[in-house]
Amino acid sequence: MSYSEKIPQFPKPYWREIELPSFPKLQENISVDVAIVGAGITGITAAYLLSKEGLKVAIIEAGDVLNGTTGHTTAKITAQHGLIYDELINHFGEEKAKLYYESHNSAIHFIKDTSREKGIDCDFGIEDACIYAVSEQYANKINTEWEAYQKLGIDGEVTYRIPFDISIQNALIMKNQARFHPLKFLKGLLNEALQSGCTVYGNSTAMDVDDNDTQPKVITRDGYTVTCRKLIVASHFPYCDKLGFYFAKMYSDRSYAIGIKTNKKYPGGMYISVDSPTRSIRETPINGESLIIIGGENHKTGQGIDTMKHFQELERFTEEVFGISEYLYRWSAQDMVTLDKVPYIGPMTKEKENILVATGYKKWGMTTGIMAAHLLTDYVLERDNSYKELYSPSRFTADPSLRSLITANADVAKHLLKGKLEFVPKDPGDLKNDEGSVVMHNGKRAGAYRDENGKLYLVDTSCTHLGCETEWNHAEKTWDCPCHGSRYSITGEVMDGPAVMPLTNLSEEVN
């Protein structure tokens, strides 16, 4: 049997193997000091910090806690976010570039100190982070980045070899970074928040916000409201996007990861390639043994090749470099990327200071989520914070933001037109078991999936956000929007925003 035949049938992240608490649905109108939409790393950390300050906090989560991007990470805790520091110096200046580094490095210390103080066993370990180049082009960029490290006082060094069978030109190390089990850590933080009086509501989808007065009201799909003094929107993509038009200021990016065992001893450290396609390498303990996590293969959501091929490419790379003895896990993640690659954290708009947002983490959510929670806490408590200006969602600089805005929205227009004009040769009867595809149904474009038992699921493929046509994601069995990254299940339920309404389910018409 080939390794490809051993690929796990369904996506499953290693991190979610632990037992997590479930919470009741919101079934009444409530009033709190702070409402938080989203039970991921930002929402839970903010709830922990604010509850400790004696504030009445409620978390509203559309599904289960920690089932979003936080549960689908590679869980590196590092301020080495690719080749970012030379770019930050050029666009923002040395002072703000240093603030970026300091803000993310502080997250490492928070996780280290808090896990020790609270007795949270989360497999925390200090590791060096290493970015490597296999081409001469990117080797020159690594040399330039090293110069930026020296300007900013970042503890690092250049090396010319890494402890794997990968031929490289050079590599840049950032010292004393870390890795952990994110869900073990956040489960511990959540327990602390609950003990401090925080309440959590699961399966309670926030659909809208009443922002007409000084007390925002979150409105759920079932019509219940959460009235608050401050609202924190930590839902990955801001669910109430009518206030800030964030869909035009970011794009969504998917990446993939696999978890394997190998007979080779892992040498330590965390690694990522700067060349394309990206390869991310790290290790985590699993039942006294070692699980190697290989990530990469990023692309814009809803665009590109058959998504299963991304897992196959990671498998091929892993077999060549490590040798696979067991192939245990595969999963993917969706990340939002801002126009200037710096997250948006702060008031959603200049006029709406009671509604705070955190988004655009660009694949580095472990440090960004922790840092964002601290920054948002200071906004709520009206405390000074030296990072506010850097991460302000209201910033907009001509270089590179304007150019990126034009490019991003031209890409949206292209995919909107392409989907509407696409020729669709299939109809639902052509599908085999466990096959999904765009089909024609009653003369219109539709999305169909036939499961392993032959049951057919049929949806209208028009994204409920702005009407782009969704595409079939083979690896995840989802319908993904190539314009703004909304994702839907085979029954049409929203899995990722900016959409808040499900696809129209057409299954009753064919079953």
29 with 350: CB under 8 angstroms? no
What pLDDT, on the 0 to 100 scale, is given for residue 507? 77
What pLDDT, on the 0 to 100 scale, is given for residue 247? 77
356 with 347: CB under 8 angstroms? yes
pLDDT mean over 243-250: 76
Name the pLDDT band for 170 (thresholds 50, 70, 90).
very high
What pLDDT, on the 0 to 100 scale, is given for residue 254? 86
pLDDT exceeds cutoff 70 at 425: no
What pLDDT, on the 0 to 100 scale, is given for residue 265? 93
pLDDT exceeds cutoff 90 at 26: yes
Half-sphere exposure of 92 (CA within 13 A, CB side): 24
What pLDDT, on the 0 to 100 scale, is given for residue 8? 74
pLDDT exceeds cutoff 90 at 201: yes
Please state, rounded to an integer, the average pLDDT across all residues of the chain: 88
pLDDT digits (tens, 9 = 90+) for 256-278: 999 999 999 999 999 999 998 99
What pLDDT, on the 0 to 100 scale, is given for residue 415? 45
pLDDT digits (tens, 9 = 90+) for 142-151: 999 999 999 9
CATH number for the domain formed by residue range(s) 428-509 = 2.102.10.10
pLDDT exceeds cutoff 70 at 46: yes
pLDDT digits (tens, 9 = 90+) for 291-309: 999 999 876 766 666 778 8
Name the pLDDT band for 384 (thresholds 50, 70, 90).
very high
Better pLDDT: 9 or 234: 234
Query: Domain coordinates of the chain in residue numbers?
Result: 428-509
Q: Any bridge partners for residue 170, and if so which?
A: 133
Q: Please give the Cα distance from 205 to 430 (Å, whole number).
A: 35
The most distant pair of C-alpha atoms in the chain lies apart, rounded to whole Å, by 65
What pLDDT, on the 0 to 100 scale, is given for residue 245? 75
Q: Which residues contact 96 (CB under 8 A, 6 or more apart)?
A: 88, 389, 390
What pLDDT, on the 0 to 100 scale, is given for residue 164? 95
Going by C-alpha positions, the residue among 259, 375, 218 that lies closest to residue 8 is 259
pLDDT exceeds cutoff 70 at 413: no
What pLDDT, on the 0 to 100 scale, is given for residue 253? 85
pLDDT digits (tens, 9 = 90+) for 442-453: 888 888 889 888
Question: Phi/psi of residue 182, each to 5°?
Answer: -65, -35
pLDDT mean over 187-191: 97
pLDDT mean over 218-243: 88
Q: What is 409-460 written as a DSSP string?
A: HHHHHHHHHHHHH------GGGPPTTEEEEEEETTEEEEEEE-TTS-EEEE-
Q: Please give the Cα distance from 310 to 297 (Å, whole number).
A: 6
pLDDT mean over 30-56: 97
190-205 burial code (b ≥16 CB/10 A, e <16): bebbbebebbbbbbbb
What pLDDT, on the 0 to 100 scale, is given for residue 509? 63
Name the pLDDT band for 395 (thresholds 50, 70, 90).
confident
**Mean pLDDT highest for which of 3-12, 319-328, 481-490?**
319-328
3-state helix, strand, coil in the chain (%, to 5): 30, 30, 40
What pLDDT, on the 0 to 100 scale, is given for residue 241? 64
- pLDDT > 90: what percent of the chain? 60
What pLDDT, on the 0 to 100 scale, is given for residue 300? 75
pLDDT exceeds cutoff 70 at 398: no
pLDDT exceeds cutoff 70 at 152: yes
Better pLDDT: 395 or 32: 32
What pLDDT, on the 0 to 100 scale, is given for residue 71? 80
Q: Which H, E and C letters describe 344-368, residue by residue?
A: EEEEEECCEEEEEEEECCCCCHHHH
Structure tokens belonging to residue 109: 């210390």
